[in-house]
Structure 1
């Protein structure tokens, strides 16, 4: 069976990592899988690091529809059995190809398709284009079952869906963490409205204990969040590091990971935190509840400053007692057992072979 994973190529952060991880998982099991992207960019660059066979279509902007013919020809020439698309642009292009080839088409839903674009005229148009494209696919892999009612709402039969959680290659050894001299926090996420770092900053301004926070990522709200941090008097406690491909040192230098998103699918950053033995506070969105329990962190309602403050105070007390590190080790043990790349590979192949 020949499998083709398709993406626009501009994904950064978690989306890119998820695509590369699933290809690596399949290749470890000697599955014939390759990557196709429409533009040279972060996804192709990361694929090169892991020697993943990659084809770049060199699309000249989103409106360059010459890639439709190129994609169709590639699928036919390479006798592809299954195409798995990731992201709205890949979905749209494949929707124009799907009736012209015999290959099976699977879509991985990484995020709520109703929230992928801004709430303006252009965003609403792109959302409708994506929905129309999605309806032509044969099967949907949801990274959280909480997306099922969303897809049903836009008219997709639940029998065409199945959930497969994200995964990663975990360290073979239990991570040995350090109790830092100052309560050290980290947030790894894009600086966009849906990640809601503003809530984190406003809540931290209310606590009466010392801390240091590193916000690792970049995005449209960076200046606004930096201004907010300064206005709240947090400029000596909060550092905006910008985007980094390798975030391992930030996890290693932290006592607690925090994710305050208003919406998520299955955030890979929680698995990354677990891999470094760092417990987490996360909003109860998407499938965060599949990873975090009372023994490994704190789940709080989204956009709720009071509950976030309660969790931060509780975590600080645990830090004072040096009890965060045992929580982090339990987090590692649970996630490494339940969200391994081997499990991901088998689950994907079960879907592909059932089509």
Structure 2
């Protein structure tokens, strides 16, 4: 039995967090997975994400406070040694830094690091820190999309050749609804959805404005975050309270997708987001801004990519999608390329004997 520890910044519901949770939940029987969150407390996390309660014995929280904390390095090192860890898997720069420092001179621990986007590396401090960490330890670098891999080589240097392992979702869990009636133009309300953290880079103000003048449409936004009040104010200013609904965080994302006719993502920065994979796995077509590696995760027969992230572009695309009818099913594209079981097998092939 090998012990793998997934190290993440925090364990709040989000793309990376759901990914590592599924890795823990669906990992092969010869590998036991633990999750270490640098920040946060277990009781608070379980209160906000109840499904984790059944796995709480494999969840470890270091309660790191803001800024770099050497005590967190010591705590992490102690955790890894007590678990007799064979592999650590880090995500993004914070966990990379702490993972490297906690395993210095521990040659028996393999380090796999996944980058989910590269826009944070535009910050020179983060770029230089990442380069340094990759030099200090022998790390297997993974990109979660082809585009991310190319960008990593460009910013980190041509000598850096990350392995590409596409993000995956549980396609058995995210399956189509048998009761969903296909939308026929103007036959009923057209339901649009978006699931995202309510932060500025998701550009949800563009989505709200884009649907404002489209009749017979309802918009449902799942998620929470610091921009909620600003977005709520915008909805009130535009007199859209009957058209735009904020449903907050939901533990039933499958049920959320089953209500939709279209999923829309207006982000200004992304890697390869899980939400568009989940929606399409439920046979919900998507309209997305063409940023990061989003284009890799959009079914070309049923989806639409927006080159210019403007209100008018999304307005036009949504209206066109309402009239569109396709014999193709986006789920076929997702099950072929983005099933998490394929992703887990690809990661396991990187593990040293």
Q: What is the TM-score normalised by the length of structure 2?
A: 0.84
Alpha-carbon spacing, 1:47–1:183, altered in 2? closer, same or farther (3 Å): closer
Shift of 1:285: 2.1
Aligned to 2:88, what secondary structure does the other structure show? Answer: strand
1:152-167 pair list within 5 angstroms: 152-156=153-157, 158-167=159-168
Residue from 227, 238, 243 that aligns with 2:244: 238
Residue from 30, 33, 56 that aligns with 2:60: 56
Question: Per-residue CA shift, 1:288-333, capped at 9, x if unaligned?
Answer: 2223234222111151333322211111113xxxx37x55xx1112
CA distance in 2, matches of 1:219, 1:57: 21
8 Å Cα contact 1:261-1:302 kept in structure 2: no
1:1-355 pair list within 5 angstroms: 1-27=2-28, 29-38=29-38, 39-41=40-42, 48-49=52-53, 51=55, 53-62=57-66, 63-102=68-107, 103-112=109-118, 114=120, 129=129, 132-137=132-137, 138-156=139-157, 158-171=159-172, 175-176=177-178, 177-179=180-182, 181-207=188-214, 209-318=215-324, 323=325, 327=328, 330-353=329-352
CA distance in 1, matches of 2:335, 2:253: 19
Shift of 1:52: 6.8
Question: Per-residue CA shift, 1:166-223, capped at 9, x if unaligned?
Answer: 112223865432246201111111111111111112222343x320101111112111
Alpha-carbon spacing, 1:265–1:203, altered in 2? closer, same or farther (3 Å): same
CA distance in 1, matches of 2:176, 2:193: 21
CA distance in 1, matches of 2:50, 2:152: 30
CA distance in 2, matches of 1:84, 1:232: 45
Alpha-carbon spacing, 1:113–1:71, altered in 2? closer, same or farther (3 Å): farther
8 Å Cα contact 1:4-1:34 kept in structure 2: yes
8 Å Cα contact 2:33-2:58 kept in structure 1: no
CA distance in 1, matches of 2:236, 2:27: 46
Shift of 1:265: 1.2
8 Å Cα contact 2:9-2:94 kept in structure 1: yes
8 Å Cα contact 1:72-1:100 kept in structure 2: no
CA distance in 1, matches of 2:244, 2:153: 42
Aligned to 1:353, what secondary structure does the other structure show? Answer: coil
CA distance in 2, matches of 1:302, 1:31: 44
Extract unaligned runs of 5+ from structure 2: none
CA distance in 1, matches of 2:257, 2:352: 38
Shift of 1:115: 6.4
Question: Per-residue CA shift, 1:208-245, capped at 9, x if unaligned?
Answer: x3201011111121111122222223222111222223
Extract unaligned runs of 5+ from structure 1: none
Aligned to 1:166, what secondary structure does the other structure show? Answer: coil
CA RMSD of aligned residues (A): 2.9
8 Å Cα contact 2:64-2:72 kept in structure 1: no
CA distance in 2, matches of 1:160, 1:294: 28
8 Å Cα contact 1:281-1:297 kept in structure 2: yes
Higher alpha-carbon deviation: 284-293 or 274-283: 284-293
Alpha-carbon spacing, 1:152–1:294, altered in 2? closer, same or farther (3 Å): closer
Q: What is the TM-score normalised by the length of structure 1?
A: 0.84
When the two structures are aligned, how many residues end up with a matched partner?
Answer: 339
Alpha-carbon spacing, 1:115–1:229, altered in 2? closer, same or farther (3 Å): farther
Question: Per-residue CA shift, 1:243-266, capped at 9, x if unaligned?
Answer: 223233322221111111112111
Aligned to 2:55, what secondary structure does the other structure show? Answer: coil
Alpha-carbon spacing, 1:98–1:346, altered in 2? closer, same or farther (3 Å): same
